[in-house]
A and B are shown apart, each in its own frame.
Chain A
Amino acid sequence: MISLNRVSKIYPVSKEVVVPAVRDVSLHVERGEFVVITGRSGSGKTTLLNLVAGLTRPTSGQVLLDNIEVWKLPDKEQSLLRNQKIGFVFQFASLLPTLTAVENVMLPKMFGGEQNQERVYERATQLLEQVGLADKFKSFPRQLSGGQQQRVVIARALMNEPELLLADEPTSDLDEATEHEIMELFRGIHTETGVTALLVTHSIDLASYGTRSIQMAEGEIVSP
């Protein structure tokens, strides 16, 4: 499913100074795996996910998604591929503040050009029910707690039935109990749908939720 071959991402900060965010990383993920990535702040986890999704250009090396180099596709096909195949859960508050919960969940269908509003609405409400927010359809993000917001984001990520789920510290701002609830949700989704998942977390305790765990440090994969 995912194949990274000696991928590096180097950010130029000034003329002399460069930051190697990801260094010579090779990683292969099979369809249906649930990989948990851990590592300290600044170790390159977010950059790695961005590379996988084709949201940023690798400085060197090759990123393949189902044998396609996403970054090299024209914008139209790149967007379509992300829209249809990848679900994102971001590290930061990523709900559009001017849209309600259900409208946020409907967004990926809008970008995919879906016309049947009724069907889209129906699926969005189903997903919100599934993540336990049956009574929050019409709430705006600011009216939801951090955990509730993250559940909406997860529902949105599942809207187009993705083959790949990329989650970047989905529990970073949550208390421990909520953290485990959200992780249970991910585990449930994984077993139910068989989606391939890459989940980044700063806490090694959560590594056990996945089927495999890898650790990053200073832009490199250090274990296993």
Chain B
Amino acid sequence: MYKTQTIKEKIVERYSSLVDNSDQFTNAVKKPLKQTFRINSIKGDKDKILNDMRNYDASIKKIPWCDNAFETDLTNLGSSIQHFSGQIYIQELTSMVPPLIVSNIIKQKTVLDCCAAPGSKTTQMAEIMNNEGHIIANDARHGRIKSLRGNLDRLGITNTTVTLRDFNSFPNTSADVYLVDAPCSSEGTIRKKNAVARKWRQHDYDRFSKLQKNLLKKACEMAPKGSTIIYSTCTLAPEENENVISQILDEEDIDLKKININGLKLDNGVTNWKEEDYNKEVKKCARMWPHHNDTDAFFLARMEKC
């Protein structure tokens, strides 16, 4: 177990060869993140909710690349009436990206959220879907299912079925979109106070990588032709990102698609790491570096089943 400061230094050092600007990266990692949230229009009109909030918080700013995301100088919006009534959800900006990239294909559709708890992305997708269609939100841990259930209740989500299962043994289920928001070493959350410090261990990369590959493989195997599979992690480690996608590309019948979001800077996936070459296609994956958009770090891949 390391102190947060030591981990920050280790992470900066580990990725200095991958990053475009080491100084900016180092500075961004040291800077704490602002609290960000999104509005849950299932519980009211977006403008009305914002106006109500602006009565006590003049610092609210809109995030340019996400219609529904906002940042604030307040640190405890969890004690606001909007949070109590489910009109807002406090969420990291990076975590909002996976639902955003499928927002135009999930309305009235079926989504299988393979590792869903505590439900940030499930509830965001439900809002995008206007509480229609169907989300199956699965997680393997009972304790985390409880927080998922709490969030679904608070946000008034009616289009979701919750299942408690190791996804590796999930029954074959046909869906239009599969989201594998995989457990990971969480390095990307380094700007959050103590978020990584509790968990970070060097040797975890291999363990996570195996786990992630199995989960993604399972989703790819059950996905019908033409369906979309999203893989995401909140780590910078290529072992858990491009490495996993590269193996899946070699073994499964899938195409990798490029990801674009207006106004959001996304870096390409890396094709080589620690003397290992990956399938060249993994360039199409997207990396989010903390200094590019003033966020956490994040990784995304968008696949289509052939």
Do the two chains bind? no
Q: Which residues of B contact A (CB under 8 A)?
A: none
